[in-house]
Amino acid sequence: MATRQHSAEVHTALLNAARDLIAEIGYSEMSHADIAAMVGIGRTTFYEHFSSKEDVLVELVRRDLPPKTDEIIASVDVALPPDEHLADLARRMVRYVGTDHIGLMLHTDVPHLSQEAQRSISEAHRGLTSEFAGVYREGVMAGVFRNMPPRFAGRMMEQIIMAGGKAVMESSEPGNEVDGIANDTAELLVAAFSVRGS
Note whether 145 and 195 are within 8 A (CB): yes
Q: How many structural domains does the chain have?
A: 2
> Which CATH number covers residue 10?
1.10.10
Spatial separation of the C-alpha atoms in residues 87 and 182, rounded to whole Å:
9
Are residue 45 and residue 61 in the same domain, yes or no? no
Specify the pTM. 0.82
On whether both 117 and 75 belong to a single domain, the answer is yes
Which carries the bigger pLDDT value, residue 141 or residue 68? 141
Please tell me the predicted confidence (pLDDT) of residue 1.
Answer: 44
Does 6 lie in the same domain as 74?
no
Domain coverage including residue 190: 57-197
Q: How confident is the model at residue 2 (pLDDT cuts 50, 70, 90)?
A: very low
Write the pLDDT tens digit of every residue in 162-177: 889 888 888 888 888 9
- Which has the closest alpha carbon to 109: 184, 54, 165? 54
Residues 6 or more apart whose CB falls under 8 angstroms from that of 145 comprise 82, 83, 136, 139, 193, 194, 195
Residues 69, 34 share a domain? no
More confident residue, 146 or 123: 146
